Amino acid sequence: MGCTAADVVAALRAAAAVVQEHRDELVRLDQAIGDADHGENMKRGFTALLSRLDAEPPDTPGKVLKLVATTLISTVGGAAGPLYGTAFLRASAAVGDAAELDPAAVARALQGALDGVVARGKAAVGDKTMVDALTPAVAAAEGVNGSVAAALSAAADAAEEGAASTVPMVARKGRASYLGERSAGHLDPGARSTALLLRAFADAAARA
Amino acid sequence: MKKIINDPETVVQDSLRGMQAAHSDLLTVHHDPAVVVRADAPVPGKVAIISGGGAGHEPLHGGFVGRGMLDAACPGAVFTSPTPDQVLDAVSKTDGGAGALLVVKNYTGDVLNFETAGELAESEVRSVVIDDDVAVKDSLYTAGRRGVGGTVLLEKIVGAAAERGDDLAACEALALRVIASVRSMGLALTSCTVPHVGSPSFELADDEMEVGIGIHGEPGRRKVAAGTASDMVSALLEPILEDLPFSSGDRVLLFTNSMGGTPLIELYLAHGIAEQLLADRGITVERRLVGPYITSLEMQGMSITLLKLDDEMVSLWDAPVHTPALRWGV
């Protein structure tokens, strides 16, 4: 059993709710080592996404992901707008115009998202960025033979561990890098939001 | 938090409406997407000079829109880079057929959003990235130096070149020359409060200063005892002088900038000390700019920017400019 456009829309609605709920947490994390806008920017982007999904829900998973990309690029700003926008754009390209996504397609979408983030942001594992959450998530999803829910659940687990691994790191990309050694001891807000989104997608898939 | 705002969510739009009311002879404010455009844009045959960045640094950038400086400014949310659709809209509203030069401050978000816009633009677009902050070590292990006070000087000088008819390649080359010749550093005596956050961006005790701050309320590289004005000016000027380096015989523009909350009585005091320190080293201050031009909301503190001048830069600096924040020769 695959994942339809309606399932993807439901997952994004769940993600929007999670972003709203964790807005203050993301602001606090970013305040410590960045410029305190990540939570507000993500909230603005996902709020705009909800109204676009209400107005005109696309009819394939790939088109839904593309709508996410264009919405986040035009509403989020900061580094997160182009980075998440590019991630969803590459994920959309990776799944093409299939009507349903199987676990392999979900893994391809995650791989596409990671490739997009790396191409745009030029960060590597260990730089204290969202790449530290997304890289292990892709590997975990690829290793799952089963349902979409199982693949996303494995990805979310790995992303949470990956995000936690950013705490002792010294940032080498983004605004946190200006702090040098003082950036160590803090959870990276981008890695945290990546883990939150994947957990929201996994929970939605488990309910579907 | 106590601020003159109605709603943290709409502070940028609300402020832009007031700016339109105050300066309708110089500029037009467009909403959705937010773009501040020179009133007579597009100017046929002229290269459009476009900049942008998060709000909260006023008058940068919207206050520099007008004849002899910027054709358009794209304000993001407070301390947040603008989005690509704002930049694209600015290009289409100002391109007079000679292309557009995007002036980008070196922050990851700004670079990524302007880069995306540059890829999508139909006009001929070039961009330059300014990174004049000596407080940040430029290495493979950081996002590179930040763009700070040098941006104001670059926008004035390159804006004057575009106004006299320089083409896109010449404007780009001049901008790169300014970037290679300008260095800055800032310090904070107090933090600032971003409206949608509601609490100060960092902690600073009454007797401490944060040296090496950027312009977004991000902490600097070290906290030290505040000391005297002379200590403060030296803490900024010494690293700037060593970095380029500036040396005896150089002609410079000295820009003493308030971060928003420092009053002019203190800023002039600091400026006077900086002039003396430069004179002692045989460096000739040929042009000056003193005031709050690139700010960090209500932060108390200052930055110093030094630009090594040549004859062409001096004449472009002196050229007429007519914007809300800088006006001379008209």
Statement to judge: residues B298 and B191 lie in one domain: yes
Statement to judge: residues B174 and B201 lie in one domain: no
pLDDT in tens, B92-102: 999 999 999 99
Statement to judge: residues B28 and B137 lie in one domain: yes
Compute the distance between CA of residue B131 and CA of residue B154 in angstroms, rounded to an integer: 11
Compute the distance between CA of residue A32 and CA of residue B81 in angstroms, rounded to an integer: 19
> Looking at the domain assignment, is residue B116 inside a domain?
yes
Statement to judge: residues B266 and B228 lie in one domain: yes
> Looking at the domain assignment, is residue B306 inside a domain?
yes
CA distance B28 to chain A (A): 22
Assign 3-state DSSP to chain A and report helix, strand, coil percentages, each to 5: 75, 0, 25
Count of structural domains, chain B: 2
Statement to judge: residues B129 and B79 lie in one domain: yes
Statement to judge: residues B175 and B309 lie in one domain: no
Compute the distance between CA of residue B27 and CA of residue B73 in angstroms, rounded to an integer: 10
Structure tokens at B2: 């106590």
Q: Scanning the structure block, which residue is given the tokens 């407080």?
A: B135
Statement to judge: residues B130 and B58 lie in one domain: yes
Name residues whose C-beta falls within 8 Å of residue B254's C-beta, 6 or more positions apart in sequence: B271, B274, B275, B278, B285, B287, B288, B289, B304, B305, B306
All domains of chain A, ordered by start, with CATH? 3-207 (1.25.40.340)
pLDDT in tens, B243-269: 999 999 999 999 999 999 999 999 999
> Looking at the domain assignment, is residue B211 inside a domain?
yes
Statement to judge: residues B169 and B190 lie in one domain: no
> Looking at the domain assignment, is residue B327 inside a domain?
no
CATH code of the domain in which B210 resides: 3.30.1180.20
Asked whether residue B288 carries a pLDDT value surpassing 90, the answer given is yes
Asked whether residue B121 carries a pLDDT value surpassing 90, the answer given is no
Mean pLDDT (whole number) for B86-110:
96
CA distance B59 to chain A (A): 20
> Looking at the domain assignment, is residue B324 inside a domain?
no
Statement to judge: residues B22 and B72 lie in one domain: yes
pLDDT in tens, chain A (208 residues): 689 999 999 999 999 999 999 999 999 999 999 888 899 999 999 999 999 999 989 999 999 999 999 999 999 988 999 999 999 999 999 999 999 999 999 999 999 999 999 999 999 999 999 999 999 999 999 988 889 999 999 999 999 999 999 999 999 988 888 888 889 999 999 999 999 999 999 999 999 8
* Cross-chain Cβ contact B84/A44 below 8 Å: no
Q: Which of A20, A28, A35 to mutate to test the interface with B (most CBs of B within 10 A)?
A: A35
* Cross-chain Cβ contact B201/A177 below 8 Å: no
Statement to judge: residues B42 and B123 lie in one domain: yes
> Looking at the domain assignment, is residue B330 inside a domain?
no
* Cross-chain Cβ contact A77/B116 below 8 Å: no
Predicted confidence at residue A77, as pLDDT, reads 86
User: What does the mean pLDDT of chain A come to?
Assistant: 94
Q: Which residues of A touch B218 (CB under 8 A)?
A: 34-35, 175, 178-179
Statement to judge: residues B137 and B66 lie in one domain: yes
User: What does the mean pLDDT of chain B come to?
Assistant: 95
Compute the distance between CA of residue A129 and CA of residue A163 in angstroms, rounded to an integer: 8
Q: Which residues of A touch B82 (CB under 8 A)?
A: 77
Name residues whose C-beta falls within 8 Å of residue A167's C-beta, 6 or more positions apart in sequence: A184, A185, A186, A187
Return the percentage of chain B with pLDDT > 70, whole number: 98
Residue ending a domain, among B179, B212, B245, is B179
Asked whether residue B109 carries a pLDDT value surpassing 70, the answer given is yes
Mean pLDDT (whole number) for B104-110:
93
pLDDT in tens, A40-84: 999 999 999 999 999 989 999 999 999 999 999 999 988 999 999
Q: Name the least confident of B78-92, B209-223, B271-285.
A: B209-223
Predicted confidence at residue A190, as pLDDT, reads 97
Q: Which residues of A touch B197 (CB under 8 A)?
A: 27, 31, 36, 40
CATH code of the domain in which B110 resides: 3.40.50.10440
Q: Which of B133, B197, B203 to mutate to test the interface with A (most CBs of A within 10 A)?
A: B197
* Cross-chain Cβ contact B109/A179 below 8 Å: no
Residue ending a domain, among B146, B179, B212, is B179
Strand partners, B231: none
Residue ending a domain, among B133, B163, B179, is B179
> Looking at the domain assignment, is residue B200 inside a domain?
yes
Statement to judge: residues B235 and B196 lie in one domain: yes
Domain with B197 in it: 182-316
Q: Are B215 and B294 in contact (CB under 8 A)?
A: yes
Which residues of B are marked as active site? 57, 216
Predicted confidence at residue B253, as pLDDT, reads 98
Q: Are B48 and B89 in contact (CB under 8 A)?
A: no
Q: Are B101 and B172 in contact (CB under 8 A)?
A: yes
The interface predicted TM-score (ipTM) is 0.75
pLDDT in tens, B130-158: 999 998 876 556 678 999 999 999 999 99
Chain B touched by A177 (CB under 8 Å): yes
| Of B72 and B108, more confident | B72
Predicted confidence at residue B139, as pLDDT, reads 56
pLDDT in tens, B20-75: 999 999 999 999 899 999 999 999 999 999 999 999 999 999 999 999 999 999 99
A125 C-beta neighbours (distance < 10 Å), count: 15
Q: Which residues of B touch A25 (CB under 8 A)?
A: none
> Looking at the domain assignment, is residue B132 inside a domain?
yes
